[in-house]
């Protein structure tokens, strides 16, 4: 029912580009199964990509602690800390406020960080009420510089031999939190958020990796110091080697805004004519280029150039000279500022010692019969 509603909605009028009757050629570099100790995250197969909007039942989900079971009647959201007017919101309070929606491609920052973790990404229409107006009405006190978002999901952590219960939490500067794009979101693709994706309310911060988009919101707290919780200061931290005055140094940065990226999705054949499809995201996309084996970079066709700046772009490239045998296919995105998605050998990627923000060029292999 959700899918039929999507198809009939005006913002979904543009269908996924395809050729009637084309046949899929499976990639020959098979994605390994998830390790046995990893939970099911509803990861798609890139070869199954056939829609610009990802249906809710095909959208990935990642949980760091438990997946809380909440109901709308009991749920509440507190706005507290360094504010003049502390508030508690119920779901109907948020629904009665001005409504806004955004089409945003959400990607886990660990996507492509492991051989088996290559499709933690989806594109959805998120709807809710702007976060900025809620913060403005609370009245930020002088000195308030950090906004922390706490979820109802919680677990036990041991820090310096001290076991303690911790709520999931992420933060951002007040300036970043006040972006007009940010939403207190209660709908996904026209219906209530699925439980796995943050029901009843989650944070949506377009342009940021998934970790910043806190699910199952419980509390928003304004502070006068930087927040150093587990998922800001100890986990989701990139470690990269750089050289300063000829000496190696280690630079640590917290995962934040999404990086420019693309990936080949699938190869199809129709009447002996081959075509490569893929997606690009993470920044305003100007072009996508594709290289087969060690050939020249060739510009792909981007399917839509509409006013959805936070949504992925679907691209395609006809491959008229596909020869028998196995071939490698690599894509790279170029944003409107001229930045190019780096190769895996680029120091930004090669000297990174953590798997977060794996935005290097993606290569897949396919066998042409």
Per-residue pLDDT tens over the stretch 160-180: 889 989 999 999 999 999 999
52/85 Cα distance (integer angstroms)? 41
pLDDT (tens digit per residue) in 65-115: 999 999 999 999 999 999 999 999 999 999 999 999 999 999 999 999 999
Class of domain 2-11+42-239: alpha beta
Q: Please choose, from the candidates 82, 352, 36, 351, the residue with its C-alpha nearest in 3D space to the C-alpha of residue 224.
A: 82
Tell which CATH architecture fits domain 261-368: Sandwich (2.60)
Q: Strands 362-368 and 87-89, how do they pair?
A: unpaired
CA 210 to the chain's CA centroid: 5
| Confidence band of 133 (pLDDT split at 50, 70, 90) | very high
| Helix segments in 312-352, DSSP class H | 347-350
Helices (H), ranges, the chain: 2-8, 91-95, 131-138, 174-177, 347-350
Contact, 222 vs 235, CB < 8 A?
no
Q: Distance between CA atoms of 169 and 221, rounded to whole angstroms?
A: 10
> What is the per-residue pLDDT across 297-347, written as a single tens digit (0 to 9) for each?
999 999 876 779 999 999 999 999 899 999 999 999 999 999 999 999 999
Domain residue ranges in the chain? 2-11+42-239, 261-368
Residues in a beta bridge with 89: 77
SS3 277: strand
Give the pLDDT score at 217. 98
The whole-angstrom separation of Cα 219 and Cα 169 is: 9
Query: For position 305, what pLDDT does the model report?
Result: 62
| DSSP three-state, residue 275 | strand
Q: Is 262 helix (H, G, I), strand (E, B) or coil?
A: strand
Residues near 87 by beta carbon (within 8 Å), at least 6 away in sequence: 78, 79, 134, 137, 138
Contact (Cβ atoms closer than 8 angstroms) between residue 107 and residue 121: yes
Tokens of 313: 């772009």
CB within 8 A of 308, min separation 6: which ones?
103
d(CA 110, CA 117) in angstroms, rounded, equals 8
Question: Cβ neighbours of residue 209 under 8 Å, at least 6 residues apart?
Answer: 107, 108, 109, 255, 256, 257, 258, 357
Q: If you average pLDDT over residues 209-230, what whole number do you get?
A: 97
**Is the pLDDT score of 13 beyond 60?**
no
At residue 10 the predicted structure's pLDDT band, cuts being 50, 70 and 90, is very low
Residue holding tokens 């009447």? 271
d(CA 104, CA 111): 16
In angstroms, the Cα distances linking 92 to 72, 74, 75, 76 are 9, 12, 10, 10
Q: Which residue has the tokens 């780096």?
A: 342
């Amino acid at each position: 029912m959700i899918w039929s509603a999507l198809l009939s909605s005006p913002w979904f009028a543009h269908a996924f580009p395809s050729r009637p009757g084309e046949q899929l050629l499976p990639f020959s570099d098979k994605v390994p199964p998830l390790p046995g100790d990893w939970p099911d995250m509803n990861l798609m197969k890139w070869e199954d990509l056939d829609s610009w909007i990802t249906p809710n039942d095909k959208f990935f989900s990642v949980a760091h602690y438990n997946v809380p079971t909440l109901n709308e009647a009991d749920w509440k959201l507190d706005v507290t800390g360094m504010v003049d007017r502390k508030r508690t919101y119920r779901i109907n309070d948020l629904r009665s406020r001005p409504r806004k929606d955004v089409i945003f491609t959400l990607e886990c920052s660990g996507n492509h960080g492991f051989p088996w973790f290559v499709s933690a990404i989806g594109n959805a229409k998120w709807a809710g009420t702007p976060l900025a107006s809620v913060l403005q009405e609370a009245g930020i006190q002088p000195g308030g510089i950090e906004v922390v978002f706490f979820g109802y999901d919680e677990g036990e952590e041991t820090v310096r031999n001290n076991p303690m219960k911790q709520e999931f939490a992420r933060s951002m500067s007040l300036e970043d939190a006040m972006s007009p794009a940010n939403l207190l979101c209660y709908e996904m693709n026209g219906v209530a958020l699925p439980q796995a994706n943050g029901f009843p309310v989650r944070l949506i911060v377009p342009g940021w990796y998934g970790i910043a988009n806190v699910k199952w919101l419980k509390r928003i707290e304004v502070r006068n110091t930087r927040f150093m919780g587990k998922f800001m200061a100890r986990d989701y931290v990139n470690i990269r080697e750089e050289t300063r005055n000829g000496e190696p140094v280690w630079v640590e940065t917290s995962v934040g805004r999404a990086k420019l990226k693309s990936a080949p999705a699938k190869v199809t054949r129709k009447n002996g004519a081959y075509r490569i499809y893929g997606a690009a995201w993470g920044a305003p996309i100007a072009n996508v280029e594709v290289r087969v084996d060690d050939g020249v970079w060739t510009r792909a066709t981007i399917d839509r150039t509409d006013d959805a700046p936070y949504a992925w772009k679907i691209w395609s490239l006809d491959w008229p000279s596909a020869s028998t045998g196995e071939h490698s296919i690599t894509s790279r995105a170029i944003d409107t500022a001229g930045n190019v998605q780096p190769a895996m050998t680029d120091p930004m990627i090669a000297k990174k010692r953590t798997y977060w923000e794996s935005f290097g060029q993606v290569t897949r292999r396919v066998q042409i019969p």
